């Protein structure tokens, strides 16, 4: 199951946050769902420009935000590795600087950071997080909103971006009353079945390609009190 299918099957009218919207691959179809109000965050300037153009071409209504989301307001450096003169935008990260990788150069952007909680949302139904190692900070800055609104979440969490993240992010969600699972082999599997040592093997160096098979990096989370309902709707 991909993220679009997950959020579409569980859709409820209200606000959807796309954190790391990039070109709008997920945000645009979600904006077409009945009663959806999408707020898309993309702090990388080049990606934000393409997102704005794509949303305009698609003719959908959406709030576009150029800030990053984190655990507290301020400014941070967004680092983007450059390989053979091409920015590897999918590796743009607030969590690491790439200084230790001599095979790449790095472009840097100073970005404004705000928190999800500062938005004061009362109707958050869905949240997608793709923050290249910064997922824990995004969630810490959303703790009050997650407690109040109880949305469902999809998250891309990778050890190559931040060691220990496949342990720490679900642990943080558990402390907020969330269950985390992953999709593999046609089933939504309990987190206890995830093994990073075999299911998520890849280099943290953006110039080194190749990954394990399977390579599981998308995780799904929902409030524990909604577990039976969610699993029934996903089956």
Look at residue 225 in the predicted model and tell me its pLDDT.
98
Counting residues of the chain whose pLDDT is more than 90, the rounded percentage is: 95
Average pLDDT over residues 125-154: 98
Tokens representing 205?
A: 């160096």
Burial per residue of 127-155, b for 16 or more beta-carbon CB atoms within 10 angstroms, e otherwise: bbbbbbbbbbbbbbbbbebbeebbbbbbb
Look at residue 216 in the predicted model and tell me its pLDDT.
98
C-alpha to C-alpha distance for 80 and 165, rounded to whole angstroms: 20
Q: If pLDDT is split at 50, 70 and 90, which confidence band does 29 have?
A: very high
Question: What dihedral do alpha carbons 130, 176, 197, 205 form, nearest 10°?
Answer: 30
- For residue 122, give Cα distances in angstroms to 32, 119, 178, 186: 21, 9, 19, 34
The SS3 assignment for 55 reads helix
Q: If pLDDT is split at 50, 70 and 90, which confidence band does 84 have?
A: confident
The SS3 assignment for 220 reads strand
Look at residue 99 in the predicted model and tell me its pLDDT.
86
Q: If pLDDT is split at 50, 70 and 90, which confidence band does 100 have?
A: confident
Tokens representing 146?
A: 């997650």
Q: If pLDDT is split at 50, 70 and 90, which confidence band does 209 have?
A: confident
Query: Given a cut of 80, is residue 231 above it in pLDDT?
Result: yes
Domain map (residue ranges) of the chain: 3-234
Burial class (CB in 10 A: 0-12, 13-18, 19+), 85: exposed
- Any bridge partners for residue 39, and if so which? 17, 63
* CATH (one of 3.50.50.60, 3.40.50.150, 3.40.50.2300, 3.30.950.10) for 3-234: 3.40.50.150
Q: If pLDDT is split at 50, 70 and 90, which confidence band does 48 have?
A: very high
Query: Given a cut of 80, is residue 200 above it in pLDDT?
Result: yes
Look at residue 1 in the predicted model and tell me its pLDDT.
95
State in Å, rounded, how far the first CA of the chain is from the last one: 10
């Amino acid at each position: 199951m991909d993220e679009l299918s997950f959020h579409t099957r569980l859709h409820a009218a209200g606000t959807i946050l796309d954190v790391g919207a990039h070109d709008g691959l997920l945000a645009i179809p979600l904006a077409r769902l009945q009663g959806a109000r999408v707020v898309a965050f993309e702090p990388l300037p080049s990606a934000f420009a393409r997102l704005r153009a794509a949303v305009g071409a698609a003719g959908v209504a959406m709030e576009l935000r150029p800030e990053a989301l984190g655990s507290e307001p301020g400014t941070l450096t967004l680092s983007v590795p450059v390989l053979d003169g091409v920015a590897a935008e999918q590796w743009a990260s607030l969590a690491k600087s790439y200084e230790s990788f001599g095979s790449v150069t790095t472009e840097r952007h100073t970005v404004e950071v705000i928190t999800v909680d500062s938005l004061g949302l009362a109707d958050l139904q869905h949240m997608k997080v793709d923050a290249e190692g910064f997922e824990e900070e995004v969630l810490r800055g959303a703790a009050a909103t997650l407690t109040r609104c109880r949305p469902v979440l999809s998250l891309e969490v990778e050890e190559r971006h931040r060691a220990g993240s496949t342990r720490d992010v679900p642990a943080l969600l558990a402390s907020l009353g969330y269950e985390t699972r992953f999709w593999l082999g046609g089933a939504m599997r309990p987190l206890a079945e995830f093994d990073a040592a075999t299911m998520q093997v890849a280099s943290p160096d953006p110039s080194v390609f190749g990954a394990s098979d399977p390579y599981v990096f998308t995780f799904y989370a929902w409030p524990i009190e909604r577990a039976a309902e969610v699993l029934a709707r996903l089956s």
